[in-house]
Amino acid sequence: MRICVLASGSKGNCTFIEGENTRILIDAGLTKAEIENRLKIIGIDPNSIDSILVTHEHNDHIKGLGAFSRAHNCKIFAHPDTWAAMQEKVGTLDTSKRIGIYGNDFVINELTISSFDLSHDSAHCLGFSVYEDKKKFSIATDLGFIDDNIIKQLADSSLVVLESNHDITRLMQNPHYPILLKKRILSKRGHLNNKDSAEAVLKMLGYGIRGLIAGHLSEENNTPELVLKTLKNTVANQGGDLAKELYVDIAKQHHVGNIYRIKS
């Protein structure tokens, strides 16, 4: 299984996943042309994408969804509430390409997909785990809080993309953000802060994860350095050494991320 985060952040989200015979995207929050460009950068023909999984209907996750699907004949998997909320944005689609996610595991060729609920201010927000044999990749972004049920969903993943959206102090001191927006981000239906994300990672170290990509960083209220510092300090406070226990990367907004290969 190969994974590449093509974009992550408030300006657009898209993740590429490749199994032995199948290529899918999670979200399509860039323009059609930009998704095509970033796929080509990593040597992927956009026409080879089989399906797109949708986390939720916010524009930074579905901006290019309809146009890309129509151009490349992709199936789209989304929760029924998400379908209802994004219908006008996505436009007309062949009914055979519109597939609902109802909480049960489903299969796309050799890939098995498990979805789980996340708390976010959308019609319905999902995280995903993708399995190929014993290989597992998981992604959870756009969540106001994380609990043990979500951590267990992420357990045993070789690689996890987990939101680390903002530093609380930096957000609260940001003069460009009105108080209502700050309250929305900090709420249980907002975005995960660095501290809560790091504490979740600490718990996941006991559940067998081997690699972490911190995702959906705010460009105004966070930095990669703050994310890494919080992670290191959180693990160190429990007597651990992050560098020895976990590989950590930071997802990018404006550039294609690293390509990872998960082996059995």
Q: Tell me: pLDDT of 206 over 90.
A: no
CA dist 54 and 203 (Å) reads 27
Confidence of residue 71 (pLDDT cuts 50, 70, 90): very high
Q: Tell me: pLDDT of 178 over 80.
A: yes
Arithmetic mean of pLDDT over the chain: 97
Is the distance from CB of 126 to CB of 79 less than 8 angstroms?
A: yes
What's the confidence (pLDDT) of residue 165?
A: 98
% of the chain exceeding 90 in pLDDT: 98
Boundaries of domain holding 149:
2-261
Is the distance from CB of 191 to CB of 208 less than 8 angstroms?
A: no
What's the confidence (pLDDT) of residue 224?
A: 98
What's the confidence (pLDDT) of residue 255?
A: 96
* Ramachandran category for residue 12: left, alpha or beta (phi over 0 → left; psi -120 to 50 → alpha): left
Q: Are strands 14-18 and 2-7 parallel, antiparallel or unpaired?
A: antiparallel
Q: Which two tokens stand for residue 28?
A: 């399509």
Match 């996943």 to its residue by tokens. Answer: 17
Confidence of residue 39 (pLDDT cuts 50, 70, 90): very high
State phi, psi for 46 to the nearest 5 degrees: -55, -30
Confidence of residue 157 (pLDDT cuts 50, 70, 90): very high
Confidence of residue 208 (pLDDT cuts 50, 70, 90): confident
What's the confidence (pLDDT) of residue 52?
A: 98
Q: What is the pLDDT of residues 89-129, one digit of tens each?
A: 999 999 999 999 999 999 999 999 999 999 999 999 999 99
What's the confidence (pLDDT) of residue 264?
A: 72
Q: Which two tokens stand for residue 175?
A: 């003069």
CA dist 60 and 165 (Å) reads 14
Tell me the average pLDDT across 209-231. 97
Question: In CATH, what number is assigned to the domain containing residue 199?
Answer: 3.60.15.10
Number of domains in the chain: 1
Q: Tell me: pLDDT of 25 over 80.
A: yes
User: Is 0.85 topped by the overall pTM?
Assistant: yes
Beta bridge partners, 197, equal none
Written as one string, the DSSP assignment of 204-220 is HGGGT--EEEEE---TT
Tell me the average pLDDT across 30-42. 98
Is the distance from CB of 135 to CB of 262 less than 8 angstroms?
A: yes
Q: How many CB atoms lie within 10 A of CB 129?
A: 21
